[in-house]
Amino acid sequence: MDLILFIVFALIAVVAAINVVVQRHPISSAVSLIAVMGSLAVLYLLLGAEFLAAAQVIVYAGAIMVLFVFVIMLLNAGGETKAGRSFVASLLGVPVLVALLILLTYFTARIYPRQTEVHFGGFRGGTAQAVGRALFTTYLLPFEITSILILIAIVGAIVLARKELE
Amino acid sequence: MTGHVPLSWFLALSAVLFSLGVAGFIFRRNIITMFMSIELILNAVNLTFITFAYQRQQVAGHLFAFFVMVVAAAEAAVGLAIILTVFKNRETLNIDDLDSMKN
Amino acid sequence: MDSFIVISLIKIFVVFGALMTILAYLQWVERKVIAHIQVRPGPYRVGPHGLLQPLADVVKLITKEDLIPPYVNKTLYLAAPFVAMTMALLSIAVIPFGPKIPVFGYQTYMELADLNFGVLFVLAVSSMGIYGIVLAGWSSNNKYALLGGLRSSAQMISYELPLALAIAAPLLISNTLSLRKLVETQDGWLWNWNLFHGFQYVSFIVFMIAAFAETNRIPFDLPEAENELVAGFHTEYSSMKFASFFMAEYANMITVSCMATLLFLGGWVAPWPAAYGSGYVPVAIFAVAGVVTIWRGLNPRRARDRFTFPPFGVVFLVAAAVFLVPLLQSMLLPLFWFCAKTGAILFLFMWIRGTLPRFRYDQLMGFAWKILFPIAMLNLLATGLAVALFS
């Protein structure tokens, strides 16, 4: 059961991720990216990260990607025009990518042989309670710093958007 | 037990998604698509964090993933505001056309 | 394990069937309520009191021509109503309707899935529901649809914040994310409900206002404002694709009403304990309704009431009798209270639709960010302080 779930959602994630890269129109890429995030949320659940799975859907798929789609719709820019690309890049691009992929997969499989097996319910420390407790005790300082970061981002976004009105 | 998933498969999936994100960032010329490729990379990293949290049986990995999400949200807000401003001024989303700093 | 799967399948069929029927009839109820607010009879032709109108509507929508306009982005155009519908129906899976009950000697909860982060699940699914509207607006290749989609995405992002903050306050008091445990902490008397817990009516009001905006209902139905945007994001949709947007809107309304019931009104819990006779309230209500209906049928104001009212009266009396059967009481009483509370909130939705005009767009956004968001934030801070001090 776990294996079937993993294979199904990993396949969806990989196919959608390829789609993100190859689609010519940004909105198709955005929709594919939402699919990647959704299937990753299911994999998080499989790994026992229930709070993170919900946060992934609410924050990533539900808020950040809506912003992306919103901006794409607002600009209503068409598909990407094929720009003149250097000869070396178009020749070496795909083979280098495939080589990188194979190397990465090889090393992860090599360093982590089948020592740990993942099954649903194998880790129960990912509840909202556990995450919240760690967040407000051990990791309180980083948490406060990220809140300041968010504040800076809000101010920055407003300043950038305001400039256009003048 | 049968039906269990080897931990390394999650890491391999993360590696695949990461490489695809890098590829998208390098190959695509549309700023928004490049930006989305970065989000793909961040998602791949989050998967690694959560996989290691499972292996170590510690919640710390989840927190790192959480912080990545928060930073990604901040980045998206500012980045998209920048993209909007750039489009208003230059009428283009192609990264190759935005080279006025080059000369 | 096998009995679990069988029970779950049965529950899925029951809940899905009931939900679909309610969706169809909710529209009839809404038309009737608004008609009576505006002093007119509403649907009256198809069946007694227009009761078969939903059936006629379904037939009409299915047999209509299914048109795909040229120059649309076909994949997204076809996917959008599907997304809207799926996301609207998905969240009902974690809504509990009642406590643990015995079914054929097997103990089961009156809900499809008991998640211990149910509130987060509902929030996540509802935040994904935006895509149905946004993609419909974009893929239609129509400026009215695009404007509707843009408006709705901005509106829903803005109102999601006060909604989430308003939900967080009762969660702080009940100290859980599980919808089931949330109800269990509100057991007992009326004043144990989160609504009457100190100043929690503030979060209830904020929640309801944000919920109206999230479900695109009047006074916040800007994405489909007829006089400015034709029909907004679903201008280019016809037949069943249009119907799925319509059903998604009603399903969202039901979900939001269920959430309000669970978070603030004590879910399936009766207003006072059964030891003080709360178990006889539904019997009394249905009996009175039955008697009044039969009396109205015998002394009719309109000639046709002589034939339609007595059967309804008999139906009400039978319903009253059913609530007296001890075997069914454990199942029906929680369901009655849950449906009564949810129905009251659904009625509020219709009442406001019959009463208030539409906001202007700048008023809508200004209201969300300048008034509702600060109130929700202060309310959450005050609730947190109160919980820290008094518990």
ipTM of the assembly?
A: 0.86
Q: In the prediction, which pLDDT does C9 show?
A: 85
Grouping H, G, I as helix, E, B as strand and the rest as coil, residue C72 is coil
- Say how many C-beta atoms besides its own lie within 10 A of residue C221's C-beta: 20
Give A108-126 pLDDT, tens digit per residue.
777 776 667 777 777 777 7
Query: In this structure, what are the phi and psi dihedrals at residue C166, rounded to the nearest 5 degrees?
Result: -70, -35
Beta bridge partners of C102: C107
Task: Please identify every stretch of chain B with a pLDDT value under 50, giving residue numbers as ranges.
Answer: 1
Residue A36 confidence (pLDDT): 92
Phi, psi of C69 (to 5 degrees): -65, 155
Q: Which of C148, C155, C162 is nearest to C364 (CA)?
A: C155
Task: Please state whether the peptide bond connecting residue C219 to the residue before it is cis, i.e. omega within 30 degrees of 0.
Answer: yes
Question: Exposed, middle or buried, B89 (CB in 10 Å: 0-12/13-18/19+)?
Answer: exposed
Interface with chain C: mutation pick from A1, A56, A70, A151, highest number of C CBs within 10 Å: A70
Which residue of A3, A57, A71, A90 is the best one to mutate when testing the B interface, meaning the one whose CB has the most B CBs within 10 A? Answer: A71
User: CA-CA distance, C80 to C129, in Å (whole number)?
Assistant: 10
Give which of C176, C172, C187 is closest to C390, Cα–Cα. C172
Task: Compute the distance between CA of residue C161 and CA of residue B59 in angstroms, rounded to an integer.
Answer: 27
Q: What is the pLDDT of residue C347?
A: 92
- Residues with Cβ < 8 Å from C312, sequence gap 6 or more? C293, C297
Instruction: Write out the DSSP string of A79-137.
Output: PPP-----HHHHHHHHHHHHHHHHHHHHHHHHHS-TT-EE-TTS--TTSHHHHHHHHHT
Distance separating alpha carbons of residues C40 and A60, to the nearest angstrom = 48
Residue A166 pLDDT > 70, yes or no? no
3 state DSSP class of C100: strand
Nearest to B15 by CA among C141, A156, A106, C183: A106
Q: What average pLDDT is seen over chain A?
A: 82
pLDDT greater than 80 at residue A13: yes
Q: CB-CB: which of C123, C127, C146 is closest to A73?
A: C146
Residue whose tokens read 């009902």: C92
CATH 1.20.1530.20 is the classification of domain B30-91:
no
Q: Burial letters for C137-170: b for 16+ Cβ neighbours within 10 Å, e otherwise?
A: bbbbebebbbbbbbbbbbbbbbbbbbbbbbbbbb
pLDDT the model gives residue B1: 47
- Interchain contact, A2 vs B3, CB within 8 Å: yes
Give the model's pLDDT for residue A78.
Answer: 64
Q: Measured between alpha carbons, how far is C27 from C49 in angstroms, rounded to an integer?
A: 14
Q: What is the distance in angstroms between the Cα of A82 and the nearest Cα belonging to chain C?
A: 21
d(C-alpha A122, C-alpha B10), whole Å = 15
Tell if the CB–CB gap between B40 and A33 is shorter than 8 Å: yes
The burial of C84, by beta-carbon neighbours within 10 Å (0-12 exposed, 13-18 middle, 19 or more buried), is given as buried
The label of the residue with tokens 């149905």 reads: C132
Report the half-sphere exposure of C374 (CA within 13 A, side-chain side): 5
Of B7, C76, B72, which is closest to residue A58 (Cα–Cα)?
B72
Q: Which of C191, C340, C200, C180 is nearest to C273 (CA)?
A: C191
Instruction: Tell me what pLDDT residue A102 has.
Output: 83
pLDDT at A12: 92
Residue C4's CB is within 10 A of a number of other CB atoms, namely 10
Whether B90 contacts chain A with CB within 8 A: no
Query: Cα(A105)–Cα(C311) distance, rounded to whole angstroms?
Result: 71
Instruction: Answer for the pair C363, C282: CB distance below 8 angstroms, yes or no.
Output: no
Cβ distance C391 to C185 under 8 Å? Answer: no
Task: Determine the Cα–Cα distance for residues C171 and C88; give it in Å rounded to an integer.
Answer: 23
Q: How confident is the model over C107-116, as a mean pLDDT? A: 77
Bridge partner list, A117: B6
Closest approach of C214 to chain A, Cα-based (Å): 13
Do C39 and C65 meet the contact criterion of CB atoms below 8 Å apart? no
Least confident of A21-25, A118-122, A137-141, C268-272: A118-122
Q: C124, A67: Cβ pair inside 8 Å?
A: no
Token readout for A108 is 């992860």
CA distance C171 to C39: 41
Encoded tokens for B63 = 């927190």
With contact defined as beta carbons under 8 Å apart, do C41 and C48 qualify?
A: no
Structure confidence at residue A88 (pLDDT): 66
Cβ <8 Å between C149 and A51: no
Three-state SS string over A2-31 comes to HHHHHHHHHHHHHHHHHHHHHCCCHHHHHH
Is residue A143 within 8 A of residue B47, CB to CB? The reply is no
Helix or strand or coil: residue B100?
Answer: coil
Contact C92, C78 (CB under 8 A): no
Residue A51 in tokens: 């709070």
Do B72 and A122 lie within an 8 Å CB cutoff?
no
Backbone angles phi, psi at C163, to 5 degrees: -60, -50
Q: Which two tokens stand for residue C218?
A: 């009047």
Positive or negative: CA dihedral A120, A123, A125, A131? negative
- Closest chain C residue to the Cα of A38, Cα to Cα: C128
User: Lowest-pLDDT range, A17-31, B54-68, C187-201?
Assistant: C187-201
Cα distances (angstroms) measured from residue C147 to each of A69, B99, C23, C140, C362? 13, 33, 28, 11, 14
pLDDT > 90 in chain A, percent: 16
Contacts of C156 in chain A (CB under 8 A): 66
Percent of chain C with pLDDT over 70: 96
Interface test with A, best of C142, C177, C233 (most A CBs within 10 A): C177
Across the interface, which of C117, C130, C137 has its CB nearest the CB of A51?
C117
The residue ranges of every structural domain in chain B are 30-91
C99's enclosing H/E stretch is: strand C98-103
Residues A35-71 have pLDDT tens digits of 999 999 999 988 888 888 988 998 888 888 888 888 8
